[in-house]
A and B are shown apart, each in its own frame.
Chain A
Amino acid sequence: MSLLYPLLLSSALFGIGLYGVLARRNAVLMLLGVELMLNAVNLNLVAFDAWFADRMHTGQVLTLFTIALAAAEIGLGLAIVLALFRAVRTVDVDEVGR
């Protein structure tokens, strides 16, 4: 299988995630964008792991590592969003910043 397809898919995912982080004003959706970007990276890692046929499967190990990290990150991020909502009754970042 050509390396091109997963890379294209991961680039598209990353672009969508970046767009979500930069353009969305809702804090939850921004976290979702970050998550998309992380998963684009995961896809990239897995794709290259398969392409190089690495005996140690460094890419896959690193992917597991990233998934754990993403879980921790989303937990922390959602907790912050929750605390923010309790404090100011909104999750719109422009409203909060004002």
Chain B
Amino acid sequence: MIRRWGYVGITAVLAVVVAIWAVPELGRDTVTFVTIGQTGPDGGPPLPSLSPDLLIYPGTAQILLLAVGVGLLVQIYSTAYLGHHPRYRSYALVIVLFLIAMIAVVGTTNLWVLLVGWEVMGLCSYLLIGHEWESPVARAGAAKAFLVTRIADLGLVMAIIVIGETYGTYDIVGAQVAQSEQPRHATLIGLLVLVAVVGKSAQFPLHTWLPDAMPGPTPITALIHAATMVAAGVYLAARLFQLYADSQVVLTAMAVVAAITMLMGALFAWVQTDLKRALAWSTVSQLALMLAAVAVGDPEAGTDHLLAHGVFKALLFLGCGCVMLAVGSSALSSMGGLRRRMPVTFWTMTAGFAALAGLVPTAGFFTKDSVLHAIERATDGDRGLAAGTAWVLLVVALVTTFVTAAYATRLWVLTFFGAGHGAGPHGTLGQDVREAPLAMAGPLVVLAVATFALSVGQPLHLGTGLLSTVIAVAGVAAVLVAARRGSTLAWAPRPLAAELWLDRPFSRWILALGTGASRVVVELDREVVDVYPRGGESLAATISRGLGLAQSRNVQRYATVLAVGVVMLVVIGVVVS
């Protein structure tokens, strides 16, 4: 027990250090540089060095605090959730490494340091998703997450190289300064950054790895979905926004990706029969909303929503972990009626679902409102994005708001209300279904409080706020009325339940392509390349068979040869002489 709290201690020290460093920046308007190397931000480091310089501004500080805060809560939660696991030690240390990598990505001004942190995060997510590597599903999910995010890494590497070649520096601030003097190659940089973001933040069409990462331990899912990994993608899009803000192609592509993903993710979340997987699809949808904010030219709204989403999604996943521990499964069919048995989980997750649905007065409402307002402002068409695209984006976002409210309510009802079907042999809950231990319930309470506390001081936009509230309430009410009338809320058309078969390119075609290609290579190796060694082998065998005839192991035959030789020598000697 003491040893387990040691790892929490390490994380806590990390969190305190980051807090000391980041909290004073929250209220400040100016930007602070922490120069550790010999070069400053204006000169830029010599190419392509790894400079340890750090840059903090209020947006960065928020995300840093979110990362270490959620990381610390996840670490505390894990002492109870996974503390008895034989590999707890490596698990806890990889979480710390994960957080350090996220701090590097968020805090650095150097693109190469950012790349290193980005890659380390990919590795850590692979290790943690595959933490229970005894199960083939976990191994497959981990490998898929790693391989799909590789595509994102490729985009990022190429984006970094293009930025460096265009502006002569690998420093983000330096590149921004150079860009403000003379913008160049905005479209190319923007499209490469978009590839990186689409892969890392699980946007269409590279979205399938995130739901398949669900076999990982639930606290890890919370960490990946809320504070690290997928957050890094959106953060990158916001951070480098200035470099591609002029390119309408990039912004349009980003808006299209965001529009497709947000509605698709929300619809897929509705049809899931598994609580955890439904929450994963909801993350995909919410990340798309943040990306939409970036696309309409308001990255601050995107990072604000990232912050609020991080808090309430961590809350929801950790609550999901409590429920899973109680009923022993993440399937919605094994839940229901948990309201009285698990009051803390119920009330905190209610706050989380309210924030997901975008209801007043949670932080989720205010930040979603900011995003909707930003999209609405873009519909006048003079902010880089064409007016038509912005209108489509706005409509899709509002429809998504409705679907989001509906599926959040559906999950809430199916988890906590009803008779608790399937949980026990007589249709009642088993006796062992009880509230989670303090180490797990505590973080839930902290996050639930944060869900409300973060809404303090957020801007309110009356028009979009009112509209989105009406839509969200309509979504909630529709589902509640349906549930009251006895509907099982299992409306799931086949294409949606199969997730539009979008996973097929990854799970079948690419696999088949790889298998086919390797088969051809094997054939080539066997039939063409192997001819040379096999020819040499058979040649040597023939020669040695011929030589072997002389070595008969028959002494008399040797003696005969000897005698014949002697006679021949004598005859030759006589004839010659």
Which stretch in B94-102, B272-280, B555-563 binds the other chain? Answer: B555-563
Which of B553, B554, B556, B559 has the most CB atoms of chain A within a 10 A radius of its CB? B556
**Residues of A contacting B559 with CB < 8 Å?**
21-22
Question: B553: which of A21, A22, A23, A97 is its contact (CB, 8 Å)?
Answer: A97
**Residues of B contacting A95 with CB < 8 Å?**
none
Q: Are B555 and A97 in contact (CB under 8 A)?
A: yes
A22 to B555: give the CA distance in the assembly, Å: 9
A23 to B563: give the CA distance in the assembly, Å: 12
- Shortest beta-carbon distance, A23 to chain B, in Å? 8
CB interface residues, B 527-569, toward A, < 8 Å:
553-556, 559-560, 563
Interface size on A, residues (CB 8 A): 8
- Shortest beta-carbon distance, B377 to chain A, in Å? 102
CB interface residues, A 49-90, toward B, < 8 Å:
none
A47 to B555: give the CA distance in the assembly, Å: 33
Per CB-CB distance, the 4 closest pairs between chain A and chain B, nearest first, are A22-B560, A22-B556, A22-B559, A18-B563
Contacts from A to B (Cβ < 8 Å): 18, 21-23, 25, 93-94, 97
**Residues of A contacting B554 with CB < 8 Å?**
94, 97
- Shortest beta-carbon distance, B557 to chain A, in Å? 8
Interface residues of B, dominant DSSP: helix
- Shortest beta-carbon distance, B363 to chain A, in Å? 94
- Shortest beta-carbon distance, A98 to chain B, in Å? 9
Instruction: Write the chain B residue with the least CB distance to A97.
Output: B553
Question: B563: which of A22, A25, A97 is its contact (CB, 8 Å)?
Answer: A22
A59 to B555: give the CA distance in the assembly, Å: 33
CB interface residues, B 316-370, toward A, < 8 Å:
none
- Shortest beta-carbon distance, B572 to chain A, in Å? 18
**Residues of A contacting B563 with CB < 8 Å?**
18, 22
- Shortest beta-carbon distance, A19 to chain B, in Å? 9
Instruction: Write the chain B residue with the least CB distance to A98.
Output: B553
Interface string of B503-544 (1 = CB under 8 A from A): 000000000000000000000000000000000000000000
A21 to B556: give the CA distance in the assembly, Å: 8
A21 to B558: give the CA distance in the assembly, Å: 12
**Residues of A contacting B560 with CB < 8 Å?**
22
A93 to B554: give the CA distance in the assembly, Å: 9
A43 to B554: give the CA distance in the assembly, Å: 31
**Residues of B contacting A94 with CB < 8 Å?**
554
What are 15 pairs between A and B in contact, CB < 8 Å?
A18-B563, A21-B556, A21-B559, A22-B556, A22-B559, A22-B560, A22-B563, A23-B556, A25-B556, A93-B555, A93-B556, A94-B554, A97-B553, A97-B554, A97-B555
A94 to B560: give the CA distance in the assembly, Å: 15
> Given known contacts A21-B556, A22-B556, A25-B556, what 5 new A-B pairs fall within 8 Å (CB)?
A22-B563, A23-B556, A93-B555, A93-B556, A97-B553
**Residues of B contacting A93 with CB < 8 Å?**
555-556
- Shortest beta-carbon distance, A31 to chain B, in Å? 13
**Residues of B contacting A97 with CB < 8 Å?**
553-555
A19 to B560: give the CA distance in the assembly, Å: 9
**Residues of B contacting A21 with CB < 8 Å?**
556, 559
Which of A18, A22, A25 has the most CB atoms of chain B within a 10 A radius of its CB? A22
A97 to B556: give the CA distance in the assembly, Å: 11
**Residues of A contacting B556 with CB < 8 Å?**
21-23, 25, 93
- Shortest beta-carbon distance, A92 to chain B, in Å? 12
**Residues of B contacting A23 with CB < 8 Å?**
556
- Shortest beta-carbon distance, A44 to chain B, in Å? 15
- Shortest beta-carbon distance, B405 to chain A, in Å? 93
